[in-house]
A = this chain, B = another copy of it.
Amino acid sequence: MGLASYRRSIVKSKRAAILKAARENFLESGFSRVAMAVIARDADVSTATLYKHFASKDELFAAVIREAHSETEANMHIDIGTTPAHTILKNITDAYMRQQLEGQMNSLLRVVIAEVPSAPQLANEVYEKGILVRYGQFRAVIDSLVARGDLKPHDTEISSHCFGGMVKEFSVWPALFSQDFSRPDDLDDKIAICIDSYLKIYQAEKI
């Protein structure tokens, strides 16, 4: 039993090493330019072992993407409490920025987009279960603000996307076209303008 669990932990750590090596390589070079042998070497396992864990390169890729997304799905259970709308929007946007820019989400998105022709269902999954789900969580927050009377009643499905579109324009879009994109100095200013704009449109009229 001790032996069995020791073995299981070895297996798990190999799996983790493979995923890490694969992720790093995919992020660096994209899917097709990375050889399985390189991933195996970087993970310090044989190619045969690699194939024991992941039946194909495609599956390994999917696992990398799913793992990356699952890491970031959990952490958005916001209780709006009595925090002012402006602060809430700022906090949510800041959390998102951290994830996109410090985590390698932008690069990951690029890789997923690159593989749309060969792994359409995976890209779809990322979009639906990653991006849209996040929008759903954000929308829930907006709905709460409406309920609290901070914002006018309106189509929050659309307005959340409008807000997201503005924010991504400055933080994600340019990153798709350059591996070296890093947080611009004036990003906070731009974010502030996005938030102000949003509030200007949707803030409830003060009586």
Contacts and interface: CB of A to CB of B under 8 A. Distances in A.
Interface of A: 28-30, 32-33, 110, 112-118, 120, 123-124, 126-127, 131, 155, 158, 161-162, 164-170, 173-174, 176-180, 190, 193-194, 197, 200-201
Contact of A116 (B166, B177, B201): B177
> Which of A161, A162, A168 neighbours the largest number of chain B CB atoms within 10 Å of its CB?
A162
A116 B110 contact: yes
Nearest to A169: B165
22 contacts: A30-B115, A110-B116, A112-B177, A113-B113, A113-B114, A113-B176, A113-B177, A116-B176, A116-B177, A116-B178, A116-B179, A120-B180, A123-B177, A124-B177, A127-B178, A158-B193, A161-B166, A162-B166, A162-B193, A165-B169, A166-B166, A197-B201
| CB-based closest 8 A-B pairs | A165-B169, A114-B114, A127-B177, A165-B165, A32-B32, A165-B166, A123-B177, A162-B166
A110 B165 CA distance: 18
Contact of A33 (B117, B161, B166): B117
A11 to B, nearest CB: 16
> Which of A167, A179, A193 neighbours the largest number of chain B CB atoms within 10 Å of its CB?
A193
Given A162-B193, A173-B168, A200-B200, A29 B127 contact: no
A115 B197 CA distance: 35
Given A33-B32, A33-B117, A113-B176, A162 B168 contact: no
A124 B178 contact: yes
